[in-house]
A = this chain, B = another copy of it.
């Protein structure tokens, strides 16, 4: 049986731009278009040329090589001819292979927002589509508010879709603009549209996540017959976001419910680039990735529970719905006091440490982890600190340097000009190979000052940690009050792009931070030594 092709349409650069807090530069758009193009998306919608300087500049040239490059904009205004509408002209003249016209399909909106008659709106749709086709470009129409419009006035909603199709639109896209439509309604209404004479092969779905069902609504529409899905990277978009292509694509490729009947432009090999695509996009937006995102999240294939973990080791199929490598993600068995011995052995194996389950040192390690987690440590979130603890307990670690003492001072007072001022200063005394070095630094706060002083002079190791950077710093107060136990988690990164997490716990936040900072530096030094560092640990 030949499979039916589902076309993937990315609107990250257009609807994704509506995300609160997201504002793409032309350079951002060029980079993202390239990512989507390389990954193998069918259509890349770049924005609204003529609507703002960024999009106009972005459309000065075609920004994709294999993907079809799409300009988005409105149908011509009522009362003017297509050739006399500057907005429509700008769309047609913009670089690109296709034009996606947004058209009202809810009579209420035609009246309130456009202020024209239903007939005038139909004429605008028809004339605009014909103008795009006449210019030799692929035309598609986003039927805005289609599902709400259909509920209010089915005849008119269908007339809008039908008009677009009859005028020569390659795609008629049914949009759930407000995002409140439920999957059963999607199925019924899509079926009605097909019954009205528009082939599913010419229908698309544009879903929003306002009830947390944008992915399901998109797939429900495919079930009902549509063959184009519009969505965004990581589900960004206005309000609660658009349908997340990063969740939809692997489901179409890997799930029997779909891959026996449908195929997409991304094959199983390309799919292995999905996790990287998703993370690179977050990187570009400067957001920390959602650890729980389907398929690509750092936790998507993480197991914590003891029983689950041991079964997982016997056979991954038992607790994984797809193999993590199929989407370029990794299996993660986390250490936690809920975990059994098998957890530890596997967690260690992942770090290249082979230990037999009868080794008394292993029992000692488990004991230490349980003791420490009881006092507030959380090794599941601090793999580097766990690795160091394991190396120290099962083997040994070279003592690179030693911090003899530190002092941090925070002073708030009025300066000479009578302005309130808070100064944070840290002094650290470090011993490397018997040589003592004192460093002092001022920082934005006590932890920042301590971090700067600590990394200011590590003698012969200084050059090695030059590329060490703190990516994130998290504080958790484990019990109420200012006397509380504080847990600090630090995420570090370096020039290789590697990321590692370290933890510190104390009733003193400075002490807790110091522990985590020290672990991060020592882990970096071990890491630089690669296998050597590891061998030294066994």
Contact = CB atoms under 8 A, between A and B. Distances in A.
Contacts of A447: 482, 509
Nearest to A412: B406
Interface stretch (A158-166, A198-206, A300-308): A300-308
Nearest to A332: B20
Interface string A464-476: 0000001111111
A480 B288 contact: yes
Nearest to A246: B212
A446 B447 CA distance: 11
Contacts of A302: 20, 238-239
A250 to B, nearest CB: 8
Contacts of A475: 475-477, 486, 509
Contacts of A250: 211
Contact of A238 (B27, B305, B409): B305
A393 interface: no
Nearest to A179: B321
Given A216-B216, A321-B178, A380-B20, A481 B472 contact: yes
Nearest to A180: B321
Nearest to A214: B212
Contact of A109 (B184, B216, B311): B311
A58 to B, nearest CB: 15
A97 B510 CA distance: 45
A9 interface: no
A108 B318 contact: yes
A519 interface: no
A215 B210 contact: no
Contacts of A298: 20
Nearest to A511: B422
Nearest to A473: B482
A478 interface: yes
Given A378-B21, A482-B448, A510 B321 contact: no
Interface stretch (A60-68, A167-175, A289-297): A289-297
A247 B292 contact: no
A62 B381 CA distance: 32
B472 A292 contact: no
A380 B352 CA distance: 48
A283 interface: no
B478 A473 contact: no
Given A182-B257, A318-B108, A508-B424, A286 B210 contact: no
Contacts of A411: 405-408
Closest 8 CB pairs of A and B: A180-B321, A216-B216, A212-B247, A445-B508, A405-B413, A472-B480, A182-B257, A444-B507
Given A20-B334, A239-B297, A474-B477, 17 more contacts: A20-B302, A27-B480, A178-B321, A179-B321, A183-B216, A184-B257, A185-B257, A211-B247, A235-B292, A240-B299, A445-B486, A445-B508, A446-B508, A447-B509, A448-B482, A448-B507, A451-B482
Interface of A: 18-21, 23, 25, 27, 52, 108-109, 112-113, 177-180, 182-185, 209-213, 215-217, 219-220, 223, 235, 238-241, 244, 247-248, 250-251, 255, 257-258, 286, 288, 291-295, 297-305, 307-308, 311, 314-315, 318-322, 334, 336-338, 378, 380-381, 404-414, 422, 424, 443-448, 451, 470-484, 486, 490-491, 506-511, 513-514
